[in-house]
Structure 1
């Protein structure tokens, strides 16, 4: 039973840590950050199972993490309010070609990161972006502006 309680406590700590890291950090990890996450995983295992290296102890720890993941998933599925709290909401970072600096700073995004993601999405100029949203998973989605009617006629 002690392993289940320890696993529950570590699940809560890990969940809060991931939420505090922010959306962007999870969307693009550097190799060093990936290694740090692997090390954190090992430290969590040591804290949860202590000196219990048995198959039963490992199964209880993994099962407890899986159970809490499932509980939070169902809670998000059943309640839109819970989903907003647990998973976060998308945030507008560009509106009508203008970067919203307050939202950008809130998620610790640089203009260079936004411009890099724009290029990956095939958008050359900030003025061509109607909306850019930082999604809860850390990715940026872009909606292009409609071209002015004169440009549309020239292409035909």
Structure 2
């Protein structure tokens, strides 16, 4: 067998076998490396490179070594599930960096982090003042988790006691100027509706790079030509404004009329309509 062909075969076998081992070890080999997996990753890469270039030694020796080393993290994962002691030893523990707003310098030294390193990790979490942090810790995978002080946390609808509609994934109904029929059918729409909406926006289908429909049935378009501006949908906001106007008119009628019976009717209707507005507001105002 020619030497170049032997090299090609060894290289292909090494790549295929590494792929099989990686699939066996699991996605965490790529997503989150433990100490053992880091060592194994380096080792099997070296063995695979040696197997591809060593023309004298038998290939199966390298395959056996790859198998043993590749299965080792699988065994350690199984043992980690059975024992917390082994899990702590293999995967490590989280280290508290900031507690009750106070930076723990000793823990920084333990993790070999400088002040600049800590500030950089905070900035990655969109925190630019250490004084805003209540609690921060370094996870076993090296990521820093941050909890802001209560007064520095973003205001949410729950803080304001507002009821908002659940978030749902928008459906991509146009991609690269092509209508996607399956997402359209998923939200109960069809091509006729889509073409009507495009006509309203004054946009040709072939000019649309991406079109998405949210759960409220509004179509959002992104065009190939970034200089062109597409008018944003306002039907929902107009509906909300109309309902508010009707409710205000009912309250005004209740104030203007001298008939006590009609005044009660107007006030009752205004309150009922306000209740409806409160329920649909999360759907109309986003």
State the TM-score, normalized to the length of structure 2.
Answer: 0.35
- Do the aligned partners of 2:98 and 2:104 also contact (CA within 8 Å) in 1? yes
Q: CA deviation at 1:51?
A: 8.8
Higher gyration radius (CA)? 2
Distance 1:41 1:124 in 2: 40
Distance 2:102 2:56 in 1: 55
* 2:106 matches 1:102: yes
Give 2:70's aligned residue. 66
Change (3 A) 1:142 1:52: farther
Distance 2:73 2:141 in 1: 16
- Do the aligned partners of 1:96 and 1:127 also contact (CA within 8 Å) in 2? no
Give 1:93's aligned residue. 97
- Do the aligned partners of 1:128 and 1:144 also contact (CA within 8 Å) in 2? yes
Structure whose residues are more often helix by fraction: 1
Map 1:6-45 onto structure 2 (within 5 A). 42=46
* 2:87 matches 1:83: yes
Is there any run of 5+ residues in structure 1 with no aligned partner, and where? 1-17, 20-25, 27-36
| RMSD of Structure 2 on Structure 1 (CA) | 3.4
Distance 1:77 1:95 in 2: 29
Give 1:14's aligned residue. none
Structure with higher RCO (Cα < 8 A, 6+ apart):
1
Give 1:145's aligned residue. 149
Q: SS of the residue aligned with 2:151?
A: coil
State the TM-score, normalized to the length of structure 1.
Answer: 0.62
Q: CA deviation at 1:124?
A: 1.5
Change (3 A) 1:130 1:52: farther
Q: SS of the residue aligned with 1:123?
A: coil
Is there any run of 5+ residues in structure 2 with no aligned partner, and where? 1-33, 161-286
Q: SS of the residue aligned with 1:147?
A: helix
